Chain A
Amino acid sequence: MKETLLLTKHMRDFPENSHNIDVYEKNNGYSALKKVLKEDNPENVINEIKDSNIRGRGGAGFPTGVKWGFLAEDEDRYLVINGDESEPGTFKDRILLERDPHQLIEGVIITCFASNIKKAFIYIRGEYAKPARRVQEAVEQAYEKGYLGDNILGTNLSLDIVVHLGAGAYICGEETALLNSLEGKRGEPRLKPPYFPAVMGLYNKPTLVNNVETISSVPWIINNSGKEYAKLGVEGSTGTRIFSLSGHVRTPGNFEIEMGKSFGEFVDTFGNGIKDDKKVKAYIPGGASAPWFTGDQLDIKMTIDDVANAGSMLGSGAVVVMDEDTNLVYAAKSIVSFFAHESCGQCTPCREGTTWLEMILERIASGRGRLSDISLLVDVCDNISPGLSWPPKMTTICPLGPSAVSPITSLLDNFSDELMKMLPTKIPIAQ
Chain B
Amino acid sequence: MSDQININVNGSEIRTDSDQLIIEACEDSGIHIPRFCWHKRMDPVGMCRMCLVEIETPRGKALVPSCTTKVSEDLIVDTESEVVKKAQEGVLEFLLINHPLDCPVCDKAGECPLQDQTMAYGPGESRFVEDKRHFEKPIPISEIILLDRERCILCARCTRFSDEISGDPLIEFIQRGNKTQVNTFPDEPFRSYFSGNTVQICPVGALTSTSYRFKARPWDLKKVSSTSNCSSMGCSVELNVSQNKMLRILGEDNEFTNQGWLSDKGRYNFEYLHSENRILKPVLNNDSTNEISINESMELISNEISADDNSNISFIVGHNSTNEEYYALNNFVENLNKVNKDQNMNVYLSDDYLYEGFFQNNDLLGKVQDLDSVDTIILWAQDIKDNLPTLYLRIRQAVKNGKKLVIFGHTNTAMKELADSYFGQEIISKNLEFNVEISEIPNFNELINDKNVLAIIGKSSPIQNTNSISNLINYLDKNSNLKILNCFSKGNTFGALQNIDLVKGLNEFINEFDGSKNNIVFTIGSNPVNSSIHSNQIKDKLINANFVISLDLFKNETTELANIILPTTSFGEKEGTFTNLEMRTLKQNKILPTPGSVLNEWEYWSMMLNKIDIENNYESEFELNLQLCEEYLDKDNVPSFDNLNKPSNLDGVLNSKSINIEIQNVEPEKIEILFVNRLYGDSSTQINSPSISMLGAERFIEMNNDTFIKHNLSSYTVNLVQGVSTLQVKIKINNHLPNELIIAPLNRRGFRDIDTTKPYELIEVKNLEELSVN
Chain A residues in the interface with B (C-beta under 8 A): 169, 186-187, 191, 193, 340-349, 351-356, 359, 363, 372, 376, 382-384, 386-387, 393-397
Contact = CB atoms under 8 A, between A and B. Distances in A.
B175 to A, nearest CB: 8
Contacts of A351: 94, 154, 177-178, 180
Given A341-B177, A343-B177, A397 B47 contact: yes
B552 to A, nearest CB: 51
Given A386-B83, A395-B49, A396-B49, A348 B44 contact: no
A165 B568 CA distance: 66
B231 to A, nearest CB: 34
Interface string B85-121: 0110111011101100000000000000000000000
Given A376-B127, A386-B63, A395-B63, A348 B178 contact: no
Contact of A348 (B62, B86, B94): B94
A393 B63 contact: yes
Contacts of A193: 68, 70
User: Which 4 pairs from chain A and chain B are nearest by CB?
Assistant: A383-B90, A352-B94, A345-B180, A355-B178
B50 A344 contact: no
Given A340-B178, A347-B47, A349-B91, 18 more contacts: A343-B177, A345-B175, A345-B176, A345-B178, A345-B180, A346-B156, A348-B47, A348-B95, A349-B90, A356-B128, A359-B130, A383-B87, A383-B93, A383-B94, A384-B90, A386-B86, A395-B87, A397-B46
Nearest to B174: A186
B48 interface: yes
Nearest to A383: B90
A354 B178 contact: yes
A382 B90 contact: yes
A352 B46 contact: no
B475 interface: no
A347 B52 CA distance: 12
Nearest to A362: B130
25 contacts: A169-B176, A186-B173, A191-B46, A340-B177, A340-B178, A343-B178, A345-B173, A345-B177, A345-B178, A345-B179, A346-B45, A346-B47, A347-B47, A348-B95, A349-B49, A351-B177, A352-B178, A354-B177, A363-B130, A376-B127, A383-B90, A383-B91, A383-B94, A386-B63, A394-B62
Interface of B: 44-50, 52, 62-63, 68, 70, 83, 86-87, 89-91, 93-95, 97-98, 127-128, 130, 153-154, 156, 173, 175-180
A258 to B, nearest CB: 31
Contacts of A186: 173, 176
Nearest to B176: A345
Contacts of B130: 356, 359, 363
Contact of A349 (B44, B94, B173): B94
A347 B180 CA distance: 11
B631 to A, nearest CB: 51
Contact of B177 (A355, A356, A376, A396): A355
A151 B91 CA distance: 55
A187 B127 CA distance: 32
A193 B44 CA distance: 11
A376 to B, nearest CB: 6
A186 B178 CA distance: 15
A344 B177 contact: yes
A397 B69 CA distance: 12
A412 to B, nearest CB: 17
A191 B176 CA distance: 18
* Residue from A347, A348, A372 with most neighbouring chain B CB atoms (10 Å): A348
B198 to A, nearest CB: 19
A369 to B, nearest CB: 11
A191 to B, nearest CB: 5
B394 to A, nearest CB: 23
Nearest to B128: A356
A191 B177 contact: no
Given A186-B173, A386-B87, A191 B94 contact: no
A336 to B, nearest CB: 12
A341 B177 CA distance: 7
Contacts of B48: 348
Nearest to A396: B49
Contacts of B173: 186, 345
A421 to B, nearest CB: 21
A175 B177 CA distance: 18
A392 to B, nearest CB: 11
A348 B177 contact: no
Nearest to B172: A186
Contacts of B86: 382-383, 386
A344 B97 CA distance: 18
B89 to A, nearest CB: 8
A395 B177 CA distance: 17
B44 A352 contact: no
Contacts of A384: 90
Contacts of A169: 176
A191 B87 contact: no
Nearest to A368: B129
A187 to B, nearest CB: 8
A31 to B, nearest CB: 44
A245 B722 CA distance: 81
A370 to B, nearest CB: 8
A347 B177 CA distance: 9
Contacts of B52: 395
Nearest to A360: B130
A344 B176 CA distance: 5
Contacts of A386: 63, 83, 86-87, 90
A241 to B, nearest CB: 27
Nearest to A401: B49
Nearest to B70: A193
B44 to A, nearest CB: 7
A424 to B, nearest CB: 14
* Residue from A191, A382, A387 with most neighbouring chain B CB atoms (10 Å): A191
B45 A191 contact: yes
A355 B98 CA distance: 11
Nearest to B96: A352
Contacts of B176: 169, 186-187, 343-345
A339 to B, nearest CB: 9
Given A376-B127, A382-B90, A393-B63, A345 B154 contact: yes
A372 B129 CA distance: 12
A21 to B, nearest CB: 39
A363 to B, nearest CB: 8
A353 B156 CA distance: 19
A353 B49 CA distance: 12
Contacts of B49: 347-349, 395-396
Contacts of B91: 348-349, 383
A346 B175 CA distance: 11
Nearest to A395: B63
A195 to B, nearest CB: 11
A268 to B, nearest CB: 38
A382 B48 CA distance: 17
A344 B177 CA distance: 5
A191 B44 contact: yes
A182 B143 CA distance: 36
Contact of A352 (B62, B87, B98, B127): B98
Nearest to B131: A359
A343 B154 CA distance: 14
A352 B45 CA distance: 17
A356 B95 CA distance: 11
Nearest to B69: A193
Nearest to A339: B177
A353 B177 contact: no
Contact of B94 (A343, A353, A395): A353
A352 B47 contact: no
A55 B576 CA distance: 69
A356 B133 CA distance: 11
Contact of B97 (A340, A356, A387): A356
A352 B91 CA distance: 9
Contacts of B175: 345
